[in-house]
């Protein structure tokens, strides 16, 4: 059929018809799962360039997968960070505690004690191992699945639970969604529900640290879906132009709620490749290999501290459970994906490594899991003394007007007084 005058008809006989492409995940509910298309590199096969190398020298690493732990449960190759057994056991304990915390908070949400929760099951290494490779005063700008960083830095579990329950012990006074923590003493920037805002904030903070002649670097985390946001690309540009001492972590867990990674561009190239396009040194890492995550973060931190500039790290992982307690992944992906994921579980892999080198056993692992569950249980009971969801308003009504201005303006004082009067009239019993 010939083209219509307005150009909206079908293509002419000498021109092919165009086809619109919509990314589609390989597996849907009920499908058999075959991850053989994923190239899983041999552990230890990846070269480790000097931390001060030109970014182009990391080109071979943006399509490969930096791995340390092999099928024999031993560490291999130049990326092996050669951590001592005590450090490895501490890493394992912190990841196990993070998972135990997730399990109890998930149950708490199902019991109506909080409105919302997000687990990081299967992704613990991307936060815990990375946090342990950083200095404790390095500033972190996390997303909403990096609770492991706070736990690794010793933030009290009871304070995390207070925030989740938005009770009278919540230092954020119920102003943040559950799990959006903040702690200046732990160099943990306030989590935001707006996607990717933390990336330019981290780059800006790192630029300021360099301008002051400080020695602290910044690190930030986003999911692969958030790399489609303009903020992420602005952050990459500023980081490259000003050689900011920052680590840009992209946790590619394959799913952004129900949208698979192809909608963020994952079909065309790796997410690590985006950094290289900006002139940023970039690494693609097995995100379920705690030793590889530690080694890559250590490499990037050393590079930033030596004025080598930014690094982008893609942590190739898998979100083992739902996006949040509001999500049902069985509606959009095959139930077999979790068990078939070729990179395994980060906690199991580190446990098996410690056993293989003679520094752990199944009995101690069982005792550790029990101890972590009991520790979280005790913290939960302490937090519940401050109240849970449904127990009413936990903070004085006037606090909703505070902490924005150093001195509350007269018009807000009037609004606060009016609101309090109306509340007393409407609910005199309170």
Mean pLDDT of 396-421: 90
Confidence of residue 292 (pLDDT cuts 50, 70, 90): very high
Asked if residues 189 and 182 have their Cβ atoms less than 8 Å apart, the reply is yes
Let me know whether 109 and 249 are in one domain.
yes
Residue 196 in any domain: the answer is yes
Residue 370 in any domain: the answer is yes
Let me know whether 90 and 162 are in one domain.
yes
Let me know whether 286 and 408 are in one domain.
no
Supply the Cα-derived Rg of the chain in whole angstroms. 24
| Torsion region of 64: left, alpha or beta (phi above 0 gives left; psi -120 to 50 gives alpha) | beta
Confidence of residue 390 (pLDDT cuts 50, 70, 90): confident
Let me know whether 404 and 304 are in one domain.
no
Instruction: Inform me whether the pLDDT recorded for 285 exceeds 80.
Output: yes
Start-to-end C-alpha separation, the chain: 75
Which residues share a beta bridge with 247?
219, 311
Asked if residues 305 and 215 have their Cβ atoms less than 8 Å apart, the reply is yes
Mean pLDDT of 226-237: 98
Phi, psi of 424, rounded to the nearest 5 degrees: -65, -35
Average pLDDT of the chain, as a whole number: 95
Which residues share a beta bridge with 259?
256
Residue 267 in any domain: the answer is yes
Let me know whether 411 and 352 are in one domain.
no
Let me know whether 241 and 319 are in one domain.
yes
Strands (E), 106-150: 139-141
Q: What is the pLDDT of residues 310-322, one digit of tens each?
A: 999 999 999 999 9
Instruction: Inform me whether the pLDDT recorded for 120 exceeds 80.
Output: yes
Q: What is the pLDDT of residues 3-46, one digit of tens each?
A: 555 556 566 678 999 999 999 999 999 999 999 999 999 999 99
List Cβ<8 Å contacts ≥24 apart for 228-235: 228/263, 228/264, 228/265, 229/195, 229/196, 230/196, 231/195, 231/196, 231/197, 231/199, 231/200, 232/196, 232/199, 234/199, 234/200, 235/196, 235/199, 235/200, 235/202, 235/203
Let me know whether 378 and 406 are in one domain.
no
Residue whose pair of structure tokens reads 């092999």 in the numeric block: 70
Asked if residues 63 and 345 have their Cβ atoms less than 8 Å apart, the reply is no
Residue 29 in any domain: the answer is no
Neighbouring C-beta atoms of residue 30, cutoff 10 Å: 9
Whole-number pLDDT of residue 12:
64
Residue 122 in any domain: the answer is yes
Whole-number pLDDT of residue 394:
81
Let me know whether 122 and 208 are in one domain.
yes
Asked if residues 353 and 88 have their Cβ atoms less than 8 Å apart, the reply is yes
Q: In the chain, what percentage of residues exceed pLDDT 70? A: 97
* Paired sense of beta strands 259-260 and 255-256, if any: antiparallel
CATH number at residue 178: 3.40.50.970
Instruction: Inform me whether the pLDDT recorded for 1 exceeds 50.
Output: no
Residue 168 in any domain: the answer is yes
Mean pLDDT of 336-342: 95
Give the Å distances, CA to CA, from 235 to 51, 229, 252, 265, 429.
Answer: 21, 10, 18, 18, 51
Whole-number pLDDT of residue 6:
57
Domains in the chain: how many in total?
2
Asked if residues 144 and 179 have their Cβ atoms less than 8 Å apart, the reply is yes
Neighbouring C-beta atoms of residue 63, cutoff 10 Å: 14
Q: What is the pLDDT of residues 140-168, one digit of tens each?
A: 999 999 999 999 999 999 999 999 999 99
Let me know whether 193 and 246 are in one domain.
yes
Confidence of residue 134 (pLDDT cuts 50, 70, 90): very high
Whole-number pLDDT of residue 395:
84
Let me know whether 219 and 319 are in one domain.
yes
Residue whose pair of structure tokens reads 């306030």 in the numeric block: 190
Residue 6 in any domain: the answer is no
Instruction: Inform me whether the pLDDT recorded for 169 exceeds 60.
Output: yes
Whole-number pLDDT of residue 363:
98
Residue 50 in any domain: the answer is no
Q: What is the DSSP string of 211-272?
A: HHT----EEEEEEGGGGGSHHHHHHHHHHHHTT--EEEEEEE-SEETTEEGGGGTTTTS-SH
Let me know whether 258 and 366 are in one domain.
yes
Whole-number pLDDT of residue 400:
85
Mean pLDDT of 412-423: 91
Instruction: Inform me whether the pLDDT recorded for 61 exceeds 70.
Output: yes
Q: In the chain, what percentage of residues exceed pLDDT 90? A: 90
Let me know whether 238 and 211 are in one domain.
yes
Provide the residue range defining the domain that includes 402.
398-426
């Amino acid at each position: 059929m010939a083209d219509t005058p307005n150009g909206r008809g079908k293509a002419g006989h000498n021109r092919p018809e165009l086809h619109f492409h919509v990314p589609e995940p390989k597996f849907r509910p009920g499908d058999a799962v075959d991850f053989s298309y994923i190239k899983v590199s041999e552990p230890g096969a990846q070269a480790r360039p000097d931390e001060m190398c030109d970014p182009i020298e990391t080109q071979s690493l943006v399509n490969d997968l930096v791995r340390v732990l092999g099928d024999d449960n031993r560490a291999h190759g130049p990326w092996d960070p050669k951590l001592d057994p005590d450090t490895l056991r501490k890493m394992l304990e912190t990841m196990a505690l993070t998972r135990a915390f997730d399990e109890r908070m998930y149950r708490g949400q199902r019991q109506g004690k909080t409105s919302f929760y997000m687990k990081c099951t299967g992704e613990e290494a991307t936060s815990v191992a990375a946090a342990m490779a950083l200095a404790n005063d390095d500033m972190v700008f996390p997303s909403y699945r990096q609770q492991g960083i706070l736990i690794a830095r010793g933030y009290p579990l009871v304070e995390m639970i207070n925030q989740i329950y938005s009770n009278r012990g919540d230092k954020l006074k119920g102003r943040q969604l559950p799990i959006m923590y903040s702690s200046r003493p732990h160099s943990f920037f306030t989590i935001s529900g707006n996607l990717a805002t933390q990336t330019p904030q981290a780059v800006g903070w790192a630029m300021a640290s360099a301008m002051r002649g400080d020695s602290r670097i910044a690190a930030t985390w986003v999911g692969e879906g958030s790399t489609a946001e303009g903020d992420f690309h602005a952050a990459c540009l500023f980081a490259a132009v000003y050689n900011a001492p920052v680590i840009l972590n992209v946790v590619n867990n394959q799913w952004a709620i129900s949208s698979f990674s192809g909608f963020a561009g994952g079909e065309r190239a790796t997410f690590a490749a985006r950094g290289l396009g900006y002139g940023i040194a970039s690494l693609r890492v097995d995100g379920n290999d705690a030793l590889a995550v530690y080694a890559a973060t250590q490499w990037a931190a050393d590079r930033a501290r030596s004025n080598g500039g930014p690094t982008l790290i893609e942590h190739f992982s898998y979100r083992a459970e739902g996006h949040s307690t509001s999500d049902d992944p069985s509606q959009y992906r095959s139930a077999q994906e979790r068990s078939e994921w070729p990179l395994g579980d980060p906690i199991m892999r580190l446990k098996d490594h410690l056993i293989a080198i003679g520094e752990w056993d199944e009995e101690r692992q069982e005792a550790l899991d029990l101890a972590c569950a009991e520790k979280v249980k005790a913290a939960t009971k302490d937090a519940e003394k401050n109240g849970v969801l449904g127990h009413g308003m936990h903070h004085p009504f006037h606090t909703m007007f505070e902490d924005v201005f150093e001195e509350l303006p007269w018009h807000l004082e009037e609004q606060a007084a009016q609101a309090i009067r109306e509340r007393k009239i409407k609910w005199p019993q309170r």
